Amino acid sequence: MRKSPWVMLLFIIVGGLLGGVLGEILRVMAPQGAIQSIFATALTPGINPPLTLDLVLFKLTLGFTFKMNLLSILGIFLGVYLYKLV
């Protein structure tokens, strides 16, 4: 049976989202210390500030930011693993 790359992308996105949500919950609920600093510290690559192109007639603004913590990365790997399992 042939697997679709769209299904893999869906598994990756859902795994990353679930890991990100769990990381945010852990950031709020965990006491200050090593666990919170390891799992809740986020890396935010992206375009900051957004790129703005003003052409008088219209203004175009482009930008994006990913907020990734350790649990969202683990969720992505779990999504890939589950995709290969299915």
3-state SS of 13-68 is: HHHHHHHHHHHHHHHHHCCCCHHHHHHHCCECCECCCCEEEECCCCEEEECCECCE
pLDDT digits (tens, 9 = 90+) for 24-79: 888 888 788 887 787 778 888 888 888 999 998 999 999 988 888 889 999 999 99
Q: For residues 13 and 86, which has the higher predicted lDDT (pLDDT)?
A: 13
**Structure tokens belonging to residue 44:** 């935010």
pLDDT of residue 10: 95
Q: Where are the domains of the chain?
A: 5-44+63-85
What's the CA dihedral at 72, 77, 83, 86 to 10 degrees? -110
16 pLDDT band (50/70/90 cuts)? Answer: very high
pLDDT of residue 1: 58
Return d(Cα 46, Cα 60) in angstroms, integer.
Answer: 17
